[in-house]
Structure 1
Amino acid sequence: MKFTRPLAAGLAAAVLSLLSACGGGSGGDDPPAANMGTLGLSLTDAPTCGFDHVNVAIQKIRVHQSATATDSDAGWAELNFSTPKRVDLLTLTNGVLASLGQIPLQAGHYTQMRLVLAANGGSNPLLNSIVPTGGSEVALDTPSAIQSGVKLNVDITIAANQLADFVLDFDACKSVVTAGNSGKYLLKPVVAVTPNFVSGVSGYVDSTVANGATMVSVQQGGVVVKATAPDSTGKFLLQPVAPGSYTLVITAPGRTTDVVTGLTVAASTVTLLNGATSPLSLGVSMSGTAAGTVTTSLTPIDASVRATQSLLSGEKIEVATRGVDATTGAYSMTLPTSAPMVAAYVAPLGALSFAADAGAAAKYGLEASSGLATKTAGPLTLTAGATTTTNFTFP
């Protein structure tokens, strides 16, 4: 994917000199400056599930033109941090980005990125850590495979004398999982690498749901493209989001799900869904629980489960997703049993007319994923105050 901005030759040379001093570059003879471009990287996050802080320590970022290159192959370019860059992911919602730096690269197409995390230990056992809501800080275990580099498939084209600006979108909700009843947490990074589009969506929810438990997302075909949590005023900003047509979904514990279909995002524009004087109020709803276990041959267990609903229009939306417990495979999601409220998008700041999609009330599909495999169940009909158990088994 090509997403570039002009970069003056003098600035490119300065960046190259600075990054080389910091450990950037692939080593050996540098290609001629005329064939060089720059990859700019930032970090952002989706809302998390039940945590006040999620801290990760980034040691380096590596990129390669081959999707199959191994750690020891030649041709890697790197952005190194002499001291691990420790970031609280939960400060990076609502359009907030943390700059990671820039990597000078030979012009060409790059298809692999490795995110290398530093390990806990020594004088800093909480380098990677989490703070559960209402709890104390505990270590976030990073398996050795993560420390050697989380492989990310990318589609990045570097043009000569151009800056390609990309964002690492870290999904903390899917990336942090429990491991049994010991109070141990594991980090299994789920990261998307996307162009840093200016375009996005902004709006407001009512102050009664302006909390960290409310999630606002834009989706396509039931797949979340970008998600965030409203700030304390109820404002939300989903950015960067590519131009296109989306379904906006708002969920909150004990509330109905609000859905806006046909939401249009134009290039270089932040679409204003509604203003502070007309915030979206989610109705109160009873809830049921979808729970069960996922069994795999992997140790630790690496799987996730998501709950979806099919609307009268035939469109599918994701309502919730969870990573399963890495030791037991258990998962649990509390979901509204009232009908989702659906409105068609009309225009920026236009009046939205919501109506209950009665046919979807309390009905959910479940999708369990492990590796490249996915298994489905449903539609299930949940009962308020009760638990519906669904188990999944992978080879």
Structure 2
Amino acid sequence: MRNARAIWPAKALGWSGMGLIAAGLAACGGGGGGDNASQQGSLKLAMTDAPACGYDHVYVTVTKIRVHQSASADSGDAGWSELLIPPRRIDLFGLTNGVLQELGTLPLPAGNYQQIRLVLADNPSKPTPANPLANALVPLGSTNEIALTTPSGQQSGFKLKANFNVTGGQVADMVLDFDACKSIVKAGNSGNYNLKPVVAVIKRLTTEIVGYVDPALASSVVVSTRDPDNNLRATVPNATTGKFVLAYLPEHTNYTVVVAGQNLTTAAVTGVPVSIAAGTTTLNTPTTPIPMLASASAIVSGTVTNASNTPLTDAAVNAQQVLSAGQKLDVAWTLVDPTNASYSLALPLVAPNKAPYVANGPLMFTADTAVAGQYNILGSATGYTIQNTAPAVTLTTPNSVTTKKLELAP
């Protein structure tokens, strides 16, 4: 991760031809089922990835996915159904721009499901080329694999929030949207990296927003939007073509697409419609890339604590600019350091450029009248819903460091 601990990826790799994962099924209950076919449906799962920052590869090895109807069920409770997956290393870097890694299909009783657990393989104690690390990363420009520490990943599994319905005789087609950048946390100066998966469980819809940036800048930017449920969706452009795809988006008439990068002016396209009938919404063409102008940057850093000044080491921090018309732009985000809850984000000093979406027409960008360098710095952590500290900061001096301590309350 770069010193600023922001999200800017250093490289975007294409899919390297990973085959489909063969899935073995082991039904272990699920509650409320029966032999009646009308009460039995199935869950189909695949995995995709948002951008991973500062790494050439991020590998995970999923061995099992567990599903339960209760959001509060513990790993040892009854009622779990399991999808067993023959261990296979998945390079998350190959799953950007809507590329999917199929995981398999699991028969389930009809009902509403609110929890998924992701179970990972153990790292071998003595990895070899024939038996490599199951969960690892490769830093930018390196060939060395560094083990990812995965507390609870092999025993109870990582708990994911879900909310989907399985209907008798039908398939619930869902995607695990893995955010590798948010999921990897460097533990201070120890050289250790923790994996704390940030994964959204979304429907596999036949919708997407497609656009282009200058290929020369593709490896320096992240493209994102918020869906109607306020989930952040992000990807990185293809390093060769500059093309980006925000896939599997719910229907909505008013998406805001944000293109952001360190030392670059943030660009926003507003009023972008997405519908199943249209399928693909195209913002621009390769010959008219979204302009990304240079901008000086400054740093916001600090810690995230509760009211008792206890560091919240599982917190995340997000920096947002707000357009004059009210649209919120996600410019950078990071997890805090797991040892002391510190964070650092590098942010452009100028106001964002914006363009309204025009079907079949060019995007006309102009500088927004929002206050240049003004950001809301927002902290979040499990069990905390209120930020006691005012979020706004205004950055004016290039390369300066502004300290912003964030205090959260339940």
TM-score (norm 1): 0.88
Q: Which residue identity lines up with residue 130 of structure 1 in the other structure?
A: L
Answer yes or no: is the 8 Å Cα contact 1:223–1:318 preserved in 2: no
Instruction: Report how far residue 191 of structure 1 moved.
Output: 0.7
For residue 394 of structure 2, the aligned residue among 338, 358, 381 is 381
Query: In structure 2, the residue corresponding to 1:359 is in which secondary structure?
Result: coil
Moved more, 358-367 or 35-44: 358-367
Q: Which residue number corresponds to residue 406 of structure 2? A: 392
Residues 55-66 of structure 1: pairs in structure 2 closer than 5 A:
55-66=59-70
Q: Deviations over 1:96-140 (max 9, x none)?
A: 000000001112222221111222233447211111212332011
Q: Which residue number corresponds to residue 303 of structure 2? A: 293
Query: In structure 1, the residue corresponding to 2:313 is in which secondary structure?
Result: coil
For residue 161 of structure 1, the aligned residue among 169, 175, 198 is 169
Instruction: Report how far residue 280 of structure 1 moved.
Output: 1.1
For residue 142 of structure 1, the aligned residue among 141, 150, 166 is 150
For residue 306 of structure 1, the aligned residue among 312, 315, 318 is 318
Over the matched positions of the two proteins, sequence identity in percent amounts to 46
Q: Which residue number corresponds to residue 196 of structure 1? A: 204
Q: Which residue number corresponds to residue 119 of structure 2? A: 116
Q: Deviations over 1:31-88 (max 9, x none)?
A: 315132110000001002211111111121111122222222222110012x423211
Q: Deviations over 1:322-360 (max 9, x none)?
A: 01111132211111111100111121x321111111433
- Structure 1 segments of 4 or more deviating over 6 A? 297-300
Moved more, 138-147 or 294-303: 294-303
Q: Which residue number corresponds to residue 7 of structure 1? A: none
Distance 2:162 2:341 in 1: 30
Correspondence 1:331 to 2:343? yes
Cα–Cα, structure 1 residues 207 and 222, in superposed 2: closer, same or farther, change >3 Å?
Answer: farther
Moved more, 61-70 or 217-226: 217-226
Q: Which residue number corresponds to residue 227 of structure 1? A: 234
Q: Which residue number corresponds to residue 365 of structure 1? A: 376
Q: Which residue number corresponds to residue 352 of structure 2? A: 340
Q: Which residue number corresponds to residue 3 of structure 1? A: none
Q: Which residue identity lines up with residue 394 of structure 2 in the other structure?
A: T
Q: Deviations over 1:240-260 (max 9, x none)?
A: 111112100001221100001
Q: Which residue identity lines up with residue 351 of structure 1 in the other structure?
A: P
Distance 2:218 2:352 in 1: 19
Distance 1:345 1:362 in 2: 24
Instruction: Report how far residue 298 of structure 1 moved.
Output: 7.5
Distance 2:280 2:321 in 1: 27
Q: Which residue identity lines up with residue 102 of structure 2 in the other structure?
A: S
Distance 2:140 2:192 in 1: 15
Cα–Cα, structure 1 residues 299 and 388, in superposed 2: closer, same or farther, change >3 Å?
Answer: closer
Report how many aligned residue pairs link the two structures.
Answer: 373
Cα–Cα, structure 1 residues 320 and 69, in superposed 2: closer, same or farther, change >3 Å?
Answer: same
TM-score (norm 2): 0.85
Cα–Cα, structure 1 residues 364 and 162, in superposed 2: closer, same or farther, change >3 Å?
Answer: same
Answer yes or no: is the 8 Å Cα contact 2:317–2:380 preserved in 1: yes
Instruction: Report how far residue 27 of structure 1 moved.
Output: 5.4
Instruction: Report how far residue 208 of structure 1 moved.
Output: 2.2
Q: Which has the higher helix share?
A: 1
Cα–Cα, structure 1 residues 392 and 48, in superposed 2: closer, same or farther, change >3 Å?
Answer: same
Q: Which has the higher strand share?
A: 1
Q: Which residue identity lines up with residue 100 of structure 1 in the other structure?
A: L
Q: Which residue identity lines up with residue 332 of structure 1 in the other structure?
A: S
Correspondence 1:274 to 2:280? no
